[in-house]
Amino acid sequence: MAHEITVPRLGWTMEEGTFGEWLKEDGERVEVGDPLFVLESDKATTDVEAVDSGILRLPPDTPQQGDPVSVGMVLAYLVEEGEPDPWTTGPQPRSEKKKEESDSAGVPVLTEEKEHKTEIPNTSSISPRAARVAGELGVAWTTLQGSGRGGRIVERDIRKAVHPHKTEDFISMKADLRGKVSLVTGAARGIGQAIADRLAANGSLVVYTDIDAEGAKEAASRSERCASLAMDVTNSEEIEEVIVEVVRDYGSLDILVNNAGVNTLEHRVPIDEFPLEEWERLLSVDLTGLYLVSRAGARVMRKQGSGRIINIASIVGLVPLRLQCAFVAAKAGVINLTKAMALELGPHGILVNGIAPGSTLTEGTRQLFYGEGGKFHKSVQKLLDHIPLGRPATTDEIAVTALFLAAPDNSYINGHILTVDGGWTAGYAREF
């Protein structure tokens, strides 16, 4: 009996992607585990392997390179020797059979299968799903900055262009932060922006701060009830001025997220080769900067008798990695500083907790690993082999953790470091 070759659901929770190319020829023998075709989602390009054996038969309507595809879509068949082509003898074409199955199962159906069609541009700079949504919402996507892999425009970029962040955009997790004033450092991009966006979407008035004043302003402009301020976390006077301004203008400081941080791109070397000036640069931002901001924020919160401080650490503070001595030392310091702060500030109604992200998709990790031109791009699979989930986190997966720690219902967690690492630090993930 013919075996259908369908678009799988990848570990990236793919709903729709782009077909790359067939890695086997029509009529060629295929064995279990053979690479069959290339599939691209917003976050990964994958060689999909065969789960059955047989002779590959490509129907006339098999997708071509660049065509949009969705989970469950039939691409081709594996047949036995002498077996007739199934699309001429048995199964209905995808446009009939699979559409009915998808409709009944609730699986997304391709735009071209719907009664009203939306033309999807054939371009590598926007995902097919994003292009469809852009067409439906009338968004001129060519001017947008993409947040997907390699700067590609994905669906969330289209929707953000139409609607600034609102609570209903984040239906997966909600917290009532109305009336709360939050300050997030390093909020111009990456994890900091994602956290600030989440807090804003759940009702908080968020002050986006960053040494990149324009970047913070642009990020804050896309969320309601938000503001931005330039702040260098290594400048104690500037920090004090920002905190005073926030309390003066908004009345309180309820949630402080210490996210600002740096790592080294050039100096991935052992300690005997690590430059002192680079050590001091990293420690001044990643550890001393967090201390300075926390000190200023804690003074306000003690007077209030309440507050939340969330420190962004890293798994390297829990499980050191080689060739990152300064970053490891700084984040290990953040972890124990977080616990010390919890002991000192808890009696004053202030909860202090930390988040230790694993490898996360940001502009920095793209330059190191995940971008095509990344410094260690050829070694990226070795990195992912240590992660049971087999992929890096998204910035929003870190942001929901911050939202949980900031939520009013979370009233008894104090001095905890919450790891968000896909299982990286759970144990030694290898086969013996």
pLDDT digits 0-9 by tens, 277-313: 999 999 999 999 999 999 999 999 999 999 999 999 9
What pLDDT digit, counting tens, does each position of 397-410 carry?
A: 999 999 999 999 99
Higher pLDDT pick, 236 / 71? 236
Q: How far apart are CA 331 and CA 320, in angstroms?
A: 9
Q: Please report the pLDDT score of residue 21 as a whole number.
A: 85
| Domains of the chain by residue range | 3-113, 118-162, 176-426
Q: Please report the pLDDT score of residue 171 as a whole number.
A: 44
Residue 169 sits at φ, ψ, to 5 deg, of -70, -20
DSSP letter, residue 107: -
Q: How far apart are CA 161 and CA 139, in angstroms?
A: 8
165 and 197 in contact (C-beta within 8 Å)? yes
Alpha helices in 22-119 (DSSP H): 86-89, 99-105
Higher pLDDT pick, 69 / 155? 69
Region class of 62: left (phi > 0), else alpha (psi between -120 and 50), else beta? beta
Q: How far apart are CA 354 and CA 343, in angstroms?
A: 13
**pLDDT classification of 91: cutoffs 50, 70, 90:** very low
Mean pLDDT of the chain: 81
Q: Please report the pLDDT score of residue 7 as a whole number.
A: 81
DSSP letter, residue 93: P
Pair type for strands 205-210 and 181-184: parallel
pTM greater than 0.85: no
351 and 404 in contact (C-beta within 8 Å)? no
The yes-or-no verdict on residue 152 having pLDDT over 70 is no
- Overall fold of domain 3-113: OB fold (Dihydrolipoamide Acetyltransferase, E2P) (2.40.50)
What pLDDT digit, counting tens, does each position of 99-150 carry?
A: 333 333 343 333 333 333 333 333 446 766 667 667 766 777 777 777 655 5
Q: Quick one: which of 196, 220, 194 has its CA closest to 394?
A: 194
* Long-range contacts from 122-127, C-beta under 8 angstroms, 24+ separation: 122/66, 124/66, 124/152, 125/151, 125/152, 125/153, 126/152, 126/153, 126/154, 127/16, 127/17, 127/18, 127/41, 127/42, 127/152, 127/153, 127/154, 127/155
Region class of 55: left (phi > 0), else alpha (psi between -120 and 50), else beta? beta
> Class of the 176-426 domain?
alpha beta
Amino acid, single-letter form, for residue 243: I
329 and 284 in contact (C-beta within 8 Å)? no
Determine the average pLDDT of the residues in 201-225.
Answer: 92
Q: How far apart are CA 48 and CA 17, in angstroms?
A: 13
Q: Quick one: which of 375, 368, 267 has its CA closest to 325?
A: 267
Task: Kindly state the helix (H) or strand (E) to which residue 79 belongs, with its residue range.
Answer: strand 74-79
342 and 351 in contact (C-beta within 8 Å)? yes
Higher pLDDT pick, 8 / 216? 216
Determine the 3-state secondary structure of 309 from DSSP.
strand
Number of other residues whose CB lies within 10 A of the CB of residue 427? 8
Which distant-in-sequence residues (6+ apart) come within 8 Å of 42 by Cβ?
Answer: 12, 14, 17, 127, 129, 130, 148, 149, 152, 154, 155
The yes-or-no verdict on residue 201 having pLDDT over 80 is yes
Q: How far apart are CA 347 and CA 305, in angstroms?
A: 9
Q: How far apart are CA 390 and CA 10, in angstroms?
A: 11
- How far from 105 is each of 74, 115, 335, CA to CA, in Å? 15, 19, 46
**pLDDT classification of 385: cutoffs 50, 70, 90:** confident
Q: Please report the pLDDT score of residue 367 as a whole number.
A: 61
What pLDDT digit, counting tens, does each position of 300-357 carry?
A: 999 999 999 999 999 999 999 888 899 999 999 999 999 999 999 999 999 999 999 9
The sign of the CA dihedral 48, 51, 55, 61 is negative
Residue 353 sits at φ, ψ, to 5 deg, of -140, 165
Q: Please report the pLDDT score of residue 345 as a whole number.
A: 98
Exposed (0-12), middle (13-18) or buried (19+): which is 141, by Cβ within 10 Å? buried
The yes-or-no verdict on residue 258 having pLDDT over 90 is yes
> Class of the 118-162 domain?
few secondary structures
